[in-house]
């Protein structure tokens, strides 16, 4: 699922910080990476002009609840204090421009060489970070529940990541 809107398109009354260690593909050293996840019950924005958008207020997004857990990536905008929490979990998590996406987003960077660790590699390639191809890889990802609200604008949205026990986050 992909979104291309300037304002928040995902919100939730709680969220989780997913973290794991990967090998940097630039310097080959181990580095910590993080991701933002939302439990079932989070809401997705339905923006004006999109199919099914209610006509009662054509200028405002309608919020629709989701029954599925998700991990967000290519996050263009992330409200405080979630941004601060993700940065505390990994000092390499910061806003950066990506030549691959021709845009800026909140991205992981290697703690050693400082190079951008592109979300495509962390969220779209099997068995690297947040796309577990087996239960062992999923166990390498730590999930920390945060009982406070979050709002974000994300272009990437991975529903029910395989092998993660995210149903406990509902």
Share the mean pLDDT of the chain: 87
pLDDT band at 136 (very low <50, low <70, confident <90, very high): confident
Query: Is residue 5 a part of any domain in this protein?
Result: no
**Is residue 17 situated within a structural domain?**
yes
22 with 128: CB under 8 angstroms? Answer: yes
Look at residue 170 in the predicted model and tell me its pLDDT. 40
**Lowest-pLDDT choice from 4-8, 41-45, 75-79:** 4-8
Q: Structural domain of residue 107, as residue ranges?
A: 10-169
Average confidence (pLDDT) over 19-28: 96
Looking at the structure of the chain, the number of domains it has is 1
pLDDT attached to residue 51: 57
pLDDT of residue 101: 77
53 belongs to a structural domain: yes
Helix (H) or strand (E) holding 123: helix 119-123
Domain-located, residue 2: no
Q: pLDDT tens digits, residue range 69-117?
A: 999 999 999 999 999 999 999 999 999 998 887 889 999 999 999 999 9
Cβ neighbors of 166 (< 8 A, separation 6 or more) are: 16, 37, 39, 40, 69, 143, 160
Residue 3 within a domain: no
pLDDT of residue 54: 53
Report the percentage of the chain scoring pLDDT > 70.
86
What's the confidence (pLDDT) of residue 160?
A: 87
pLDDT at 66 over 70: yes
Please report, in angstroms and rounded to a whole number, the separation of the first and last CA atoms in the chain: 21
- pLDDT at 4 exceeding the cut of 60: no
**In sequence order, what are the residues at sequence separation of 6 or more whose Cβ sits closer than 8 angstroms to the Cβ of residue 44?**
9, 10, 63, 64, 66
Q: Say if 124 falls within a structural domain.
A: yes
């Amino acid at each position: 699922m992909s979104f291309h809107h300037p304002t928040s398109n995902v919100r939730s009354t709680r969220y989780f910080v997913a973290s794991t260690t990967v090998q940097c593909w630039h310097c080959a050293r181990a580095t910590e990476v993080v991701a933002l996840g939302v439990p079932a019950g989070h809401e997705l924005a339905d923006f004006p002009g999109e199919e099914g958008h209610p006509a009662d207020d054509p200028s405002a997004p309608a919020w629709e609840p989701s029954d599925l857990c998700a991990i967000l990536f290519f996050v263009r905008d992330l409200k405080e204090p979630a941004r601060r929490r993700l940065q505390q979990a990994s000092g390499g998590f910061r806003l950066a421009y990506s030549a691959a996406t021709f845009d800026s987003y909140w991205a992981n960077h290697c703690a050693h060489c400082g190079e951008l660790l592109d979300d495509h590699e962390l969220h779209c390639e099997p068995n690297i970070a947040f796309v577990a191809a087996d239960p062992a890889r999923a166990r390498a990802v730590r999930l920390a529940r945060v009982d406070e609200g979050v709002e974000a604008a994300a272009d990437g949205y991975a529903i029910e990541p395989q092998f993660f026990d995210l149903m406990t986050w509902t």
